[in-house]
Amino acid sequence: MTLCPECETDLDLDEDELEEGEIVSCPECGTDFEVVTTAPLELNPIDELDEDDEDDDDDDDDENEY
């Protein structure tokens, strides 16, 4: 049994079929996690703000080209 690190809900994951780098989501709180290791299973929350920051940087680059 794997518990969500954020809300402790049972994630009901088949640990034998997970691969490193795979993304899993908690059905209760909606948090996305990346599988870091499979033995033992280690999940890291995905920080969506990092992706937004990268998009903002791309927008700034476009403005500087004019």
Question: Which residues 6+ apart lie within 8 Å of 32 measured at CB?
Answer: 23, 24, 25, 45, 46, 48
29: three-class secondary structure by DSSP: coil
Q: Beta strands of the chain (E only): which ranges?
A: 23-25, 32-38, 41-45
Instruction: Write the pLDDT tens digit of every residue in 13-26.
Output: 988 899 999 999 99
**Burial annotation 24-33 (CB, 10 A radius, 16+ → b, else e):** bebeeeebeb
Question: Residue 39: what pLDDT?
Answer: 87
> Domain extents for the chain?
15-64
The CATH number fitting domain 15-64, selected from 2.20.28.160, 3.30.1360.10, 1.10.486.10, 3.30.70.150 = 2.20.28.160
pLDDT per residue as tens digits for the range 6-64: 999 999 898 889 999 999 999 999 999 999 999 899 999 998 655 444 555 555 555 66
pLDDT of residue 47: 81
